Structure 1
């Protein structure tokens, strides 16, 4: 028992120190429990198969898809519209929305769903994201106190009461307690978040290397020379190849890409296919050709081939009504610099082999302060030229393999990851709603962890994330390892008898001082233990103890069991006390001491208020 407590104390010291990564500290603590044979290998590794850990992995993927499809930005813009220019209104609105969602689905699920929305919201509002992410996690736990199903400790005390023959709690028995928690949390967190979570703004802002896709489009004036034509039914272009049309030779136009509508009748299936203009590509009716060149040449080409000249500067998503140029869902652009040693120096663009070997097109050349955008086929490339190339993202990534021939400027793949697949937003929303429905309604025979994993896989299969690699990149492995490695600590504390000994001595030893003192002892014992073991395990351990202690002094067990539920759920002073706290740790760039500075005062104030409120709501 003493070895377990020593490992726990050492872990807490290293967590608070912050010089060693939190996941490494957790793994070392786990290894210590294994080395001293306190836990068996099966018990120690059980945390990595825990449903909460698996659910967190799936929710990271779902959250990543919500962000990638632009759904987060759409929702955040609505919330931002309600809040206006007031950061205070925005803060309160985020907490209220999160708490409302947390009343019906798990707090872990709530945070994972709200995390990308709030990150996008903070970016749009030019607000420090670290100021809202920790309150977001806390609000999800507060919202869990609104209903019987909001958090696991609520169900635990319900089970203890019914097993002991007491009147069971109703679905909304917790609502008054939850409302007090939310109100207290908002009032306390407004100043605490400003004092302790604001100074990281400079740290968060990072200088982006390279140019964004929008900057490249503006610099090379692609919008000014980009036009679209549609292959109409009956057009002689239908059934012909790009080479047969002689677009470049006869009309001096550069065919940038072909956009093919695959499923116009269904907005939930992928409706747009992008592909480069291969000379052997056969055009079909309905294809949209993106052309670069002089407008009079585009008009002449459209007239000769009976093509429909479309609105030149809008995308296919006409319902959006937004001006635009190129979309970068599947095809992107990047700059490459030609050094003096490159074989391409003094070679015409048409003979460079870039199209044949790498499937990329040259859209423009920047030569000192001059931009060459037309007649590129016969233009010879010089040393120091910067080429604007276009191709599929995976083909652009292949260009990095020839450092002696050219240097890829910036981070094009990082830019690709920022491109929102906005045409997938309705599909991502539908998957998210179905997942929430499975988690909310008991008549749907799907476990929450199963619903989350199904949603995560669907997000990948339906293209809401670019590929499986993109899904893996959404997972915050530091948080996953932290929770998985710390979960077995509760098993060690139970196995060695440390938790039971501590809880019984603290709770029963205060019984002689009256019900209020005993209530305070139960609450703060629960709150203290939840900092080191899971809130569900704490509730399971302390709920029977609180019930027996109340019976022994002749008091009603309801306020004491509510103290256990609230104390277990309102644990804010540690990043690994609840999964939501761990979920926001990396995104908010928090250290362990940040939870102490913000969470500990809130936890203490919440406890004092609950000790005063619970006897009024549930008399002794």
Structure 2
């Protein structure tokens, strides 16, 4: 054991680099999730003594992971209070009047919004909007989904809180004793990259794929939309207005009047009257919000009191009434229940709720009292009968969530407090005001991201303590000492970009952060341009579907091929890289 300890002590720096290479290979191998690889690597370094106990615990004092977690919760509050949903409905309504203006609103707004909230939930929420926007424009969703991801990534480069990668690098800089980054410290360089990216996207638009053989079926199924009918009451303010001009919180697909289902332009021009049933496809949270509002009579079946509960019911393949109209199924006549909506995986049920023919695995939202829900559980033709986990939006608290997010950004921008402290206070406010429940808040935090950040910060600290960083920087010193500043910036930027096309962005930022600070020391280039180059290079990567989380999301939802990203992403990588490096070289912070 003593010989082994002596060997490790004599070759600490080299062992650290070997372990770093092993972590890199494990990331590429993808046998384990990145967070598991990072924790395993940090554990090995602790076991070998490359990182001592004090330094390991010191990692948890870094503000970056806490800031990331707080921003996840604030983003979750915006979603929970229906702010993002209202934006989506506005865009779809705008698309009916001016599709081109709607595209500008989606991507222009997405660029700004992604600078302040996590881009992943933003893209998740906006994907169904893009499907509906593509339908309104008569184009393939593929022409909108990839640009949505690209714009979200570009928006993340605009502020320090735009991506968790930015916060990781900022945390490493602060841990090294450098002056903390401000919220808008990186904005000028992010604008240069975003401008080049938008210009490149406009030029590359002709190369975006337009074939969509299976997407039409996925347009609504991926979001769990429910087909429903909403009956107008006698005193509804929409009575006397055309359907296309009515003030609704959802996008209708038609109206039932006098027993006739009207769609298309005729439906939009139809003057609404009491008793008309508006047919719509909306998500579960919006449906529950409408149910709680009491404006409409929702669904088909018996009218129940307000104390009724809502259950989710799945139709069994052995159901005796398969292919029968929903309005005719026996339990609807035999029990005092009401069907609020029906959802079908990757397909659109219809044409209306009552006329929809039952298929195996159809999911129904059913309103009933406790006794009747127990009877539904005993029905052999129904499976998975359980109280729904879908909850209504808390729209009355939307203004609180908006003010809290805006306040956190403003306080940080004015230098009154750091973004981490402002966001943490904001979390307390949205929890105390019930904008979001505690369980929902913690569920909105991506634990894998936080664990990955903490573990890779530990790996970076171990490399620093073992002398591995100094060894690498020493080997590069002859080249970097005589290289012009622009070349050093370009080396850092494109190295980070290439690695991020293969590895987690946060992992690349944490791996390269200490190296970049060391490179700044020997090259004579100020550390801030190099650290910003690391932030931008690790985030602005578009050439593979695994280069960024949002790329992976749209890759699956849009049924893209790998080569689709390569064809569009490589030119964008080069163009944004040149713009970013030029801005950093000639306008250094």
Which bin holds the TM-score, normalised by the shorter protein? Answer: 0.5 to 0.7
Q: Structure 1 residues 15 and 139, CA, compared in 2 at 3 Å: closer, same or farther?
A: same
Counterpart contact for 1:145–1:174, Cα < 8 Å: yes
- Give the TM-score normalised by the residue count of structure 1: 0.55
User: Whole-Å Cα distance in 1 between the matches of residues 102 and 452 of structure 2?
Assistant: 31
1:122 corresponds to 2:130: yes
Partner of 2:529: 562
Structure 1 unaligned spans of 5+: 164-168, 230-309, 341-348, 355-360, 366-372, 374-385, 551-556
Mean Cα deviation higher: 467-476 or 521-530: 521-530
Residue from 390, 398, 411 that aligns with 1:416: 390
Q: Per-residue CA shift, 1:273-304, capped at 9, x if unaligned?
A: xxxxxxxxxxxxxxxxxxxxxxxxxxxxxxxx
Partner of 2:455: 485
User: Whole-Å Cα distance in 2 between the matches of residues 423 and 329 of structure 1?
Assistant: 21
Partner of 2:337: 362
Counterpart contact for 1:333–1:389, Cα < 8 Å: yes
Partner of 2:150: 135
Counterpart contact for 2:107–2:148, Cα < 8 Å: no
User: Whole-Å Cα distance in 1 between the matches of residues 477 and 380 of structure 2?
Assistant: 71
Counterpart contact for 1:61–1:475, Cα < 8 Å: yes
Partner of 2:296: 324
1:390 corresponds to 2:398: no
Residue from 424, 431, 437 that aligns with 2:404: 431
- Give the TM-score normalised by the residue count of structure 2: 0.57
Q: Structure 1 residues 607 and 583, CA, compared in 2 at 3 Å: closer, same or farther?
A: closer
Residue 337 of structure 2: SS of its match in structure 1? strand
Residue 58 of structure 1: SS of its match in structure 2? helix
Partner of 2:423: 452
How far residue 494 of structure 1 moved from its aligned partner, in angstroms, is 1.5
Q: Per-residue CA shift, 1:24-66, capped at 9, x if unaligned?
A: 3333333333333333466556666643323333333332332
User: Whole-Å Cα distance in 2 between the matches of residues 187 and 596 of structure 1?
Assistant: 17
Q: Structure 1 residues 489 and 538, CA, compared in 2 at 3 Å: closer, same or farther?
A: same
Counterpart contact for 1:333–1:388, Cα < 8 Å: yes
Partner of 1:67: 79
Q: Which protein has the larger Cα radius of gyration, Structure 1 or Structure 2?
A: 1
User: Whole-Å Cα distance in 2 between the matches of residues 486 and 457 of structure 1?
Assistant: 28
Q: Per-residue CA shift, 1:495-525, capped at 9, x if unaligned?
A: 2222233234325424336565555446556
1:26 corresponds to 2:38: yes
Tell me how large the CA RMSD over aligned residues is.
Answer: 6.1
User: Whole-Å Cα distance in 2 between the matches of residues 337 and 113 of structure 1?
Assistant: 30
Q: Structure 1 residues 461 and 30, CA, compared in 2 at 3 Å: closer, same or farther?
A: same
How far residue 181 of structure 1 moved from its aligned partner, in angstroms, is 1.5
Residue 571 of structure 1: SS of its match in structure 2? helix
Residue 73 of structure 2: SS of its match in structure 1? helix
Partner of 1:283: none
Mean Cα deviation higher: 32-41 or 408-417: 408-417
How far residue 474 of structure 1 moved from its aligned partner, in angstroms, is 2.9
Counterpart contact for 2:153–2:540, Cα < 8 Å: no
Residue 332 of structure 1: SS of its match in structure 2? strand
How far residue 72 of structure 1 moved from its aligned partner, in angstroms, is 0.4
Residue 143 of structure 1: SS of its match in structure 2? coil
User: Whole-Å Cα distance in 2 between the matches of residues 170 and 21 of structure 1?
Assistant: 32
Partner of 1:462: 433
1:111 corresponds to 2:119: yes
How far residue 71 of structure 1 moved from its aligned partner, in angstroms, is 1.0
Q: Per-residue CA shift, 1:380-417, capped at 9, x if unaligned?
A: xxxxxx9985258xx69x95899556675567656725
Counterpart contact for 1:47–1:487, Cα < 8 Å: yes
How far residue 543 of structure 1 moved from its aligned partner, in angstroms, is 5.0
User: Whole-Å Cα distance in 2 between the matches of residues 332 and 455 of structure 1?
Assistant: 32
User: Whole-Å Cα distance in 2 between the matches of residues 606 and 431 of structure 1?
Assistant: 33
Q: Structure 1 residues 174 and 26, CA, compared in 2 at 3 Å: closer, same or farther?
A: closer
Map 1:171-186 onto structure 2 (within 5 A).
Answer: 177-186=189-198
User: Whole-Å Cα distance in 1 between the matches of residues 213 and 455 of structure 2?
Assistant: 31
1:546 corresponds to 2:516: no
Q: Structure 1 residues 210 and 33, CA, compared in 2 at 3 Å: closer, same or farther?
A: closer
Q: Per-residue CA shift, 1:328-383, capped at 9, x if unaligned?
A: 9995355588999xxxxxxxx9xx9x9xxxxxx63489xxxxxxx9xxxxxxxxxx
Counterpart contact for 2:157–2:536, Cα < 8 Å: yes
Partner of 2:138: none
Mean Cα deviation higher: 184-193 or 485-494: 184-193
Equivalenced residue count is 470
Q: Structure 1 residues 496 and 67, CA, compared in 2 at 3 Å: closer, same or farther?
A: same
User: Whole-Å Cα distance in 1 between the matches of residues 288 and 375 of structure 2?
Assistant: 34
Partner of 1:572: 539
Structure 2 unaligned spans of 5+: 1-12, 135-140, 237-272, 279-286, 300-305, 320-330, 341-353, 355-362
User: Whole-Å Cα distance in 1 between the matches of residues 477 and 485 of structure 2?
Assistant: 11
Residue 325 of structure 1: SS of its match in structure 2? strand
